[in-house]
């Protein structure tokens, strides 16, 4: 035991802690970036979905009916 | 626009009257042949009263999945779309409710048969979400006891498809009306297609109502006053409120809607009858021009429908 290098061991421990800390920070930053990218992607997708669903609603005519005069060429009533 | 003379044909189909107008007189017979073939295929797919129809097979499958044709799949997909767009107010699972009211055969037979007996305990219809449908593999399954009825939507779907088919094949302008649900396609006559909007499609071209012109899409009318019959001691009609399983008790006697297609017009007009007072705001918000008539003849219009200078008479 007397030959054990305590100072070297402590330095190695500190290096390890720094390495873990560095990786933790990098993972955190990467997570934030990924979240932002995913958020942008899903946000865009949500907009697309809304627009798509709106387009798939009941279709309105290009022109509303205009006043007509006299008899009709055809009758629209219930069957 | 076209200055060609409009040629006309009229014939019976789906227990009602079809009217075919084309802007090229020489195209009329070919247009009629195209319409006949399309309508025959639709009838074979989804008639509730034909023992050989696909709809009868699906309804009789006892909860088993059934393989269907592309046409039936298209018709069912359209009906389910109508249900989705109206939050279930236009629901294809009303077949049992209609049959329970005595509407279990061609309507002419229902009316001729005298008072029908009420064969049902009213309640909400099964609901369109219970229909299992895979359009990719053309498979349909409805739970035991659920009866599909595509009558509310198939007629309008057929009007759209006939009009598109005829205009596409023959290159002429065309109007197809099936029992008053009408679609137009192709070149438009100079002054548009002139339509008399009234309660009953079988009424004459000068029946009480309003004349309007349309240039695109479709126009459909739903009413509680025409397809009526006696069941038990009640006067009933064919527009079922899915929430109750009974004929809708509406504050409107007739609703006409113009939309991008006849199908969508029919979906909106049927839903409006069921939605009652809230329908006017709903149609306005959706940008759908509509004419809603109360039982006393009062008219409400939405989204650019022209003013009614010829009020409908009281019923």
Domain segments of chain B as ranges: 7-302
Please answer yes or no on whether A77 and B222 come within 8 Å at the CB atom: no
Q: How many CA atoms lie within 13 A of B113 on its CB side?
A: 18
Identify the CA nearest to B160 among candidates B88, B216, B105: B216
* Per-residue DSSP letter, B2: B
Euclidean distance between CA atoms A23 and B249, whole angstroms: 69
Residue ranges with strand state E in B101-146: 132-134, 139-141
ipTM of the predicted assembly exceeds 0.90: no
**What is the C-alpha to C-alpha distance for residues B165 and B20, in angstroms, rounded to an integer?**
13
Q: Return the percentage of chain B with pLDDT > 70, whole number.
A: 87
Place of tokens 């509303």: A64
- Residues, chain B: 315
- The residue to which tokens 């809304």 are assigned: A50
Find, among B253, B237, B197, B202, the residue nearest to B220 by Cα: B197
Q: Are B182 and B219 in contact (CB under 8 A)?
A: yes
| Residues of B in Cβ contact (< 8 Å) with A53 | none
Measured between CB atoms, which of A61, A74, A79 is closest to B21?
A: A74
Smallest Cβ–Cβ distance between B212 and the set A60, A66, A71 belongs to A66
Q: Alpha-carbon distance A11 to B21, whole Å? A: 94
Instruction: Please state, in angstroms and rounded to a whole number, the distance separating the CA atoms of residues B257 and B137.
Output: 34
Tell me what the pLDDT averaged over chain B comes to: 89
Closest CA to B83 of B144, B126, B134: B126
pLDDT band (50, 70, 90) for residue B237:
low
- CB-based contact A61 B214, cutoff 8 Å: yes
DSSP code of A79?
-
> Given this model, what pLDDT does residue B117 score?
67
Min Cα separation B250/chain A (Å): 15
Binary contact (A79, B16; C-beta < 8 A): yes
pLDDT computed for residue B59 by the predictor: 95
Q: What confidence tens digit (pLDDT) does each residue in B215-226 have?
A: 999 999 999 886
CA B108, CA B8: separation in Å to the nearest integer? 25
Mean pLDDT of the region B1-23: 87
CA distance A40 to chain B (A): 29
Q: Which two tokens stand for residue B250?
A: 């509406």
Task: Tell the CATH topology of B7-302.
Answer: T-fold (3.10.520)
Cβ contact, residue pair B286, A58, below 8 Å = yes
Between chain A and chain B, how many beta carbons pairs sit less than 8 Å apart? 167
Q: pTM for this structure? A: 0.81
pLDDT tens, position by position, B151-195: 879 999 999 999 999 999 999 999 999 998 999 999 999 999 999
Q: A50: distance to nearest CA of chain B, Å? A: 14
Closest partner residue to B264 among A58, A63, A67, by Cβ? A58
Phi, psi of B69 (to 5 degrees): -80, 165
């Amino acid at each position: 035991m007397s030959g054990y290098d305590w100072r070297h061991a402590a330095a190695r421990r500190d290096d390890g802690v720094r390495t873990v800390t560095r990786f933790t920070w990098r993972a955190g930053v990467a997570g934030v970036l990924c979240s932002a990218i995913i958020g942008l992607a899903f946000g865009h997708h949500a907009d697309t979905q809304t627009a798509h669903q709106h387009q798939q609603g009941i279709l309105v005519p290009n022109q509303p009916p205009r006043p007509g005069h006299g008899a009709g060429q055809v009758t629209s009533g219930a069957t | 626009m076209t200055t060609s003379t409009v040629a006309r044909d009229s014939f019976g189909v789906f227990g009602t009257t079809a009217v075919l107008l084309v802007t090229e007189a020489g195209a009329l017979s070919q247009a009629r042949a195209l319409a006949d073939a399309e309508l025959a295929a639709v009838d074979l797919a989804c008639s509730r009263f034909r023992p050989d129809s696909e709809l009868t097979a699906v309804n009789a499958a006892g909860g088993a999945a059934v393989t269907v044709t592309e046409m039936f799949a298209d018709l069912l997909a359209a009906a389910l779309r109508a249900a989705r767009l109206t939050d279930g107010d236009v629901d294809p699972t009303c077949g049992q409710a209609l049959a329970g009211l005595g509407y279990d055969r061609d309507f002419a037979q229902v009316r001729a048969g005298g008072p029908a007996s009420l064969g049902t305990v009213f309640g909400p219809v099964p609901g369109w979400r219970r229909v299992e449908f895979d359009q990719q593999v053309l498979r349909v399954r409805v739970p035991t006891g659920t009866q599909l009825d595509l009558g509310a939507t198939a007629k309008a779907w057929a009007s759209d498809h006939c009009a598109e088919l005829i205009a596409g094949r023959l290159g002429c302008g065309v109007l197809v009306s099936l029992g008053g649900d009408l679609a137009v396609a192709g070149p438009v006559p100079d002054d548009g297609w002139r339509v008399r909007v009234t309660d009953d499609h079988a009424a004459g071209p000068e029946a009480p109502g309003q004349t309007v012109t349309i240039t695109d899409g479709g126009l459909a009318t739903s009413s509680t006053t025409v397809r009526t019959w006696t069941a038990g001691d009640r006067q009933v009609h064919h527009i079922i409120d899915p929430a109750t399983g009974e004929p809708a008790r509406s504050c409107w006697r007739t609703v006409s809607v113009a939309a991008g297609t006849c199908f969508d017009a029919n979906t909106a007009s049927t839903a409006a009858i069921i939605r009652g007072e809230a329908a006017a705001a709903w149609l306005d918000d959706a940008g759908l021009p509509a004419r809603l008539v109360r039982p006393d003849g009062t008219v409400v219009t939405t989204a650019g429908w022209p003013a009614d200078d010829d009020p409908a008479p009281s019923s």
